[in-house]
Amino acid sequence: MKENINILGFLCEWCAYQGADLAGTSRLNYPAEIKLIKVPCSGRVSGHMILKAFQKGADAVFVAGCHPGDCHFKSGNIIAQKRIKVIKSILDTIGIEPLRLDFFFISASEGLKFKKVAEEFYAKIEKLGPSKLKKWKIR
Amino acid sequence: MKTKERIGVFICHCGTNIAGKIDIKNLIQKNSGKENLFFFDYPYFCSQLGQAFIKEKINQLNLTRIVVAACSPSLHEKTFQKVAQEAGINPYLISCANIREQCSWVTLDKEKATEKAEKIIFSHINRVMYQQPLFVKEVEIVPRVLIIGGGIAGIEAALKIANAGKEVYLVEKEPSIGGHMAKLDKTFPTLDCASCILTPKMAQVRENKNIKLLTYSEVEEVSGFVGNFNVKIRKKARSVNLLKCTGCGSCIEKCPVKVDSEFDMGLSKRKAIYIPFPQAVPNAPVIDRENCLWFTKNKCGVCKKICPFSAIDYDMEDEITLEKFGAIIVAIGFSLFNPELIYQYGYKRFPNVFTSLEIERLLSSTGPTLGEIILRNGEIPKEVAIIHCVGSRDENYKSYCSAICCLYSLKFSYLIKERTKAKIYNFYIDLRLTRKGGEDFYNRVLEEGVEFIRGKPAKIEMQKNGKLVIECEDTLLGKIRKIPVDMVILSPAICPGKDTLSLAKILGLSLSSDGFFQERHPKLAPVSTMVEGIYIAGCCQGPKDIPETVAQAGLAAAEVISLIDKKKIEISPIVAELKEDYCSGCGVCIELCPYNALEYDSQKNKAKLTPEKCFGCGVCVSACFGGALSLKNYREEEILAQIEGIL
């Protein structure tokens, strides 16, 4: 049997989380394997959290925040985007494909975009298969 | 897991919205009997009965923390926080699991939806164990308001707030209030006289005891937060004592220096000691130190000699005022696009190419020509061209529409036709006459025989006889036309005021992509900003006409009055926290904080946090290597526990 994919998304409270809610109110469906956690700002997501997610069995992680210039806290989204780049290189060193981590800009009005992002990201990770960390059962 | 906590998990059916997809009965059955967990379900927890049910269970079973699995926390987190508080649980010891918007509504398969809901619920059970009680702090609001900018928006807001009995400081950088509206002759589309409706309001500002007017002044520093802003205002040296001066004007008469008048857009001369315009408030002169002989060459001094009230004070120095304010309204207006940038239109190269504001001054009965429309050589023009959208709706300059140019160009057409009988051509891209009465006004202008050519002029050339030839494609005829005229009026784009960027930095406001101040919400919070307690009104938010400016000023005033009348403000407890012992003083967090809530304490060689300035984004927390910083309600432990539960 095919192993289940587990994807964790960190969504900023002001834009991306509202966008995900809108996807719900608009009854747009996306894979149930995508689970979401609310953060006050995408800039709150630390390397620790992302690595922990991989350690605990996530096959992929994404962070989504407001569009550039729309950040509720001025620039947290841009800082988050830069941080993700750094963490990608860390993943690379420990043998996790950097593709398994991504950053998206999603506004509160982009329910449809959220669905698309979720589906596309899921398809990409499904192709990659489960993360090696999971196979090694390092938990 | 700490064992003494008793957690109530309340799963809402939301009718069939959740229960139709998620097998709640099975979910509860599977998990019942787990230590310290108490599961309940109910058709609608948000209903009065549902809320009473939660309270009853909290009291019956001595629950210490609760998880509500229902709709998005954006909808009912506050409701359930209140329920918890009323039942004696700290509102920050509850956690809302979103199993509707982010689970039942987006998942097709029932089994998968139930599985996902279970994960979500357990992630919140994990999280709530680590949550800490937090307390909302109340801070008193200083009942004083700062308004920056004394144009029609600032004046209107100041009067509204002062009439409600609140103290207002109105700060204007020019020597008089009035702003751009004071320069206008008539206003569209009703053609009522601008100064007849503005100057009574200016006089009311002068007379109002609740308004402290600081002209020739600028805001230099702002710190603090809503309810308690600390502001530093520089009152530039006017060199004239306002308490002694009566505005008789004898000093102005005798002053030997003549320079271009800013108020008349350089079309007339003023003295080095001057009153910007006859209805100025305060009606007292100011010495322009850059041009005054006393300040440049240390001679003359005739104004001081002649003043019968010895009001002239050459030794006057800039005054610094430090004051506390509860709220701030920014109404600094706009600046006009400089048409010199569009070389082919010949502004400043050809004498009879004018901007709209210059024409306003020519039309004004107190202007340089006393209301006569004449060319630079004194002749009356026989043909006049008005070019719309100069620099606006233009990818090369400003891509936005300036909103008011169509209507004021129609106004010019009407007034100039009336006064000179000249033939008038309007060159337009589209006519956007969305304002009330706009279409009727257009028809009236059409009846007067004003010509409209749909097309953007390519260039303007001057012939030897002084005629300006406009070359343009008439897109309705599909032909290139060359039209000779005597006078060209450019309607330049409305641009952000010159101080917009520097003031945005001082106040911590953000700008939209076109450079105007960004409102909190384009529809539902059009005058609020992302900074609590700071509001915007008028053209500094985007191009608009006078009625809309006045409406915004009124709304800003209402926002401020309702804020101040609350007397106290609740400050969100979700802010950063610094454990000094863990801080290495690396300074990474200081660079990242967008609100200057973190500073470097050079005595301790550590970071210093001012929680009142913190907005709770947590950017600093996730950058702190030593784990010295944490964000309340979003601490690392809380989120890590949630991650563990959801995967």
ipTM of the complex, rounded to two decimals: 0.96
Q: Is A48 part of the contact surface with chain B (CB cutoff 8 Å)?
A: yes
Cβ contacts of B631 on chain A, cutoff 8 Å: 40, 44
Q: How many CB pairs under 8 A join A and B?
A: 126
Identify whether A126 is part of a domain.
Answer: yes
Tally DSSP H helices, then E strands, for chain B: 16, 34
Identify whether A90 is part of a domain.
Answer: yes
Q: How many CA atoms lie within 13 A of B285 on its CB side?
A: 25
B505 pLDDT tier (thresholds 50, 70, 90) = confident
Q: Which among B106, B115, B622 is the nearest to A24, CB-wise?
A: B106
Cβ contacts of A30 on chain B, cutoff 8 Å: 106
Q: What is the mean pLDDT of residues B395-422?
A: 96
Please tell me the distance from the alpha carbon of residue B267 to that of residue B278, in angstroms, as a whole number: 16
Instruction: Name the CA dihedral angle for B476, B477, B481, B483, rounded to a multiple of 10 degrees.
Output: -70
For B33-70, the DSSP string reads T-TTEEEEEES-TTSHHHHHHHHHHHHHHT--EEEEEE
Q: What domains are there in chain B, each with its CATH number? A: 7-130 (3.40.50), 144-236+320-333+497-564 (3.50.50.60), 250-306 (no CATH), 336-493 (3.50.50.60), 576-631 (3.30.70.20)
Model confidence pLDDT, tens digit, residues B2-19: 458 999 999 999 999 999
Is pLDDT at B219 greater than 60 in this prediction? yes
**Mutation target among B531, B622, B634 for the A interface, most CBs of A within 10 A:** B622
Please tell me the distance from the alpha carbon of residue B580 to that of residue B608, in angstroms, as a whole number: 8
**pLDDT at residue A137, rounded to an integer:** 60
Query: For residue B526, what is the DSSP state?
Result: S
Model confidence pLDDT, tens digit, residues B283-327: 999 999 999 999 999 999 999 999 999 999 999 999 999 999 999
Identify whether A106 is part of a domain.
Answer: yes
Q: One-letter amino acid identity for B433? A: L
| 3-class DSSP assignment, residue B278 | coil
| C-beta atoms of B619 and A56 within 8 A | no
**pLDDT at residue B150, rounded to an integer:** 97
**Which chain A residue lies closest to B620 (C-alpha atoms)?**
A44
**Which chain B residue lies closest to A74 (C-alpha atoms)?**
B594
| C-beta atoms of A29 and B106 within 8 A | yes
| 3-class DSSP assignment, residue B312 | strand
Residue where the block lists tokens 């998005």: B72
Q: Are B390 and B397 within 8 A, CB to CB?
A: no
Q: How many CA atoms lie within 13 A of B189 on its CB side?
A: 17
A128 pLDDT tier (thresholds 50, 70, 90) = very high
Sign of CA dihedral B27, B32, B34, B35: positive
Where in the sequence is the domain holding A43, given as residue range(s)?
7-135
**Which chain A residue lies closest to B530 (C-alpha atoms)?**
A72
B176 pLDDT tier (thresholds 50, 70, 90) = very high
The two three-digit tokens of residue B126, written as one number:
């994990």
Identify whether A114 is part of a domain.
Answer: yes
Q: Is B617 part of the contact surface with chain A (CB cutoff 8 Å)?
A: yes
Instruction: Name the CA dihedral angle for B34, B38, B41, B45, rounded to a multiple of 10 degrees.
Output: -140
**Mutation target among B78, B102, B574 for the A interface, most CBs of A within 10 A:** B102
* Cα A137–chain centre separation: 22
In three state form, how does the secondary structure of B409-425 look? HHHHHHHHHHHHCCEEE
Q: Is B320 part of the contact surface with chain A (CB cutoff 8 Å)?
A: no
Model confidence pLDDT, tens digit, residues B319-338: 999 999 999 999 999 999 99
Q: Is A95 part of the contact surface with chain B (CB cutoff 8 Å)?
A: no
Q: What is the mean pLDDT of residues B364-384?
A: 95
Nearest to B105 by CA among B181, B201, B185, B19: B19
| C-beta atoms of B530 and A74 within 8 A | yes
**Mutation target among A2, A6, A33, A38 for the B interface, most CBs of B within 10 A:** A38
CATH number of A34's domain: 3.40.50
Q: Is B631 part of the contact surface with chain A (CB cutoff 8 Å)?
A: yes
Sign of CA dihedral B290, B296, B302, B307: positive
Q: What is the mean pLDDT of residues A32-59?
A: 95
**Which chain B residue lies closest to A27 (C-alpha atoms)?**
B105
For chain A, the DSSP string reads -PPPP-EEEEEETTTHHHHHHHHHHTT----TTEEEEEES-GGG--HHHHHHHHHTT-SEEEEEEPPTT--TTSSHHHHHHHHHHHHHHHHHHTT--GGGEEEEE--TT-HHHHHHHHHHHHHHHHHH-S-HHHHTT--
State the nearest Cα–Cα gap between A131 and chain B, in angstroms. 13
Model confidence pLDDT, tens digit, residues B100-114: 999 999 999 999 999
The two three-digit tokens of residue B233, written as one number:
């205002």
Please tell me the distance from the alpha carbon of residue B212 to that of residue B214, in angstroms, as a whole number: 6
Please tell me the distance from the alpha carbon of residue A17 to that of residue B445, in angstroms, as a whole number: 52
Q: Which among B116, B618, B644 is the nearest to A43, CB-wise?
A: B618
Identify whether A72 is part of a domain.
Answer: yes
Interacting residues of A45 by C-beta distance below 8 A, sequence separation 6+? A10, A39, A63, A80, A83, B622
| C-beta atoms of A44 and B622 within 8 A | yes
Identify whether A15 is part of a domain.
Answer: yes
Q: Are A96 and A131 within 8 A, CB to CB?
A: yes
Q: One-letter amino acid identity for B607? A: A
Nearest to B450 by CA among B473, B479, B430, B420: B420
The two three-digit tokens of residue B99, written as one number:
């199993």
Instruction: Please tell me the least confidently modeled range out of B87-91, B407-411, B502-506, B539-543.
Output: B502-506
Identify whether A1 is part of a domain.
Answer: no
Q: Is B102 part of the contact surface with chain A (CB cutoff 8 Å)?
A: yes
**pLDDT at residue B502, rounded to an integer:** 93
Angle at CA B152, nearest 5°, toward B149 and B154? 35
A1 pLDDT tier (thresholds 50, 70, 90) = very low
| 3-class DSSP assignment, residue B196 | helix
Is pLDDT at B573 greater than 60 in this prediction? yes
Cβ contacts of A43 on chain B, cutoff 8 Å: 592, 617-619, 622
Instruction: Name the CA dihedral angle for B272, B278, B282, B285, rounded to a multiple of 10 degrees.
Output: 20
Q: How many CA atoms lie within 13 A of B278 on its CB side?
A: 7
| C-beta atoms of B102 and A36 within 8 A | yes
**Mutation target among B639, B642, B644 for the A interface, most CBs of A within 10 A:** B639
Interacting residues of B364 by C-beta distance below 8 A, sequence separation 6+? B183, B184, B185, B195, B371
Query: For residue B633, what is the DSSP state?
Result: T
**pLDDT at residue A138, rounded to an integer:** 55
Q: Which among B102, B510, B618 is the nearest to A74, CB-wise?
A: B510
Kindly tell me the burial class for residue B576, based on how many C-beta atoms sit within 10 Å of its own C-beta (0-12, 13-18, 19 or more). Answer: buried
Please tell me the distance from the alpha carbon of residue B487 to that of residue B352, in angstroms, as a whole number: 5
Identify whether A2 is part of a domain.
Answer: no
Q: What is the mean pLDDT of residues B218-246?
A: 94
Q: How many domains does chain A have?
A: 1
| C-beta atoms of A69 and B510 within 8 A | yes
The two three-digit tokens of residue B130, written as one number:
């680590």
Percent pLDDT > 70 in chain A is: 94
